[in-house]
Amino acid sequence: MSRRAEAERRRALRAAARLVEGLEALRDALPAPPAYAATRAAVESALDAAVRYGIAAVPPPPPPPAGPTAGVPIGSLTPLERIPGVKHGHAKWLCRCACGKSATVRATLLRRGKVRACPACANAAKGERMARAHRARNPPAHWIEDEPA
Ligand SMILES: [Zn+2]
């Protein structure tokens, strides 16, 4: 299942769980029988269906993606040492780029792959990507087939 479909399934299950909670609250709030017999029957049958389809049980949220690990490179960066968050509680990692520069980078940016190199190396990589795309869009010559005689 795709991540998106999985997220949608979880959202639907959470909504269903809230609905089930609401139905249970309604059932418990109904006056004693025989009053509201039809409502009670409808609520009970909806709750039975929820149990039958297993929508009352919400799976636990997926574990957060693994964070950076010291010595395991992310792109051109190698995280060296984790620096606990002080300002705003953002944990950072002291990282060394392949070019030798080092800096502290927020852990979340590393985890999400938003920062994979120092700015200079990232720019160089981007320039290379752009140049490749430009060459793909602008081939050095356009070859045409001979028209049939
Ligand atoms: Zn670099």
Q: What is the pTM of this model?
A: 0.45
pLDDT tens digits, residue range 50-107? 878 776 655 566 676 678 889 999 999 999 999 887 667 788 999 999 999 998 999 8
Tens digits of residue pLDDT in 7-26: 888 888 888 888 888 888 88
- Rounded-to-integer distance, Cα 93 and Cα 98, Å: 15
Question: How far is 72 from 79, CA to CA, in rounded Å?
Answer: 7
Taking the C-alpha atoms of residue 87 and residue 106, their distance in angstroms, rounded to an integer, is: 11
Residue 77 Cα to ligand 1 middle (Å): 8
Ligand 1 center to 57 CA (angstroms):
48
User: Rounded to 5 degrees, what are φ and ψ at 7?
Assistant: -65, -40
Q: What angle do CA 58, 64, 66 make, to 5 degrees?
A: 145
- CA–centroid distance for 50 within its chain: 28
Rounded to the nearest angstrom, the distance between the alpha carbon of 30 and the centre of ligand 1 is 67
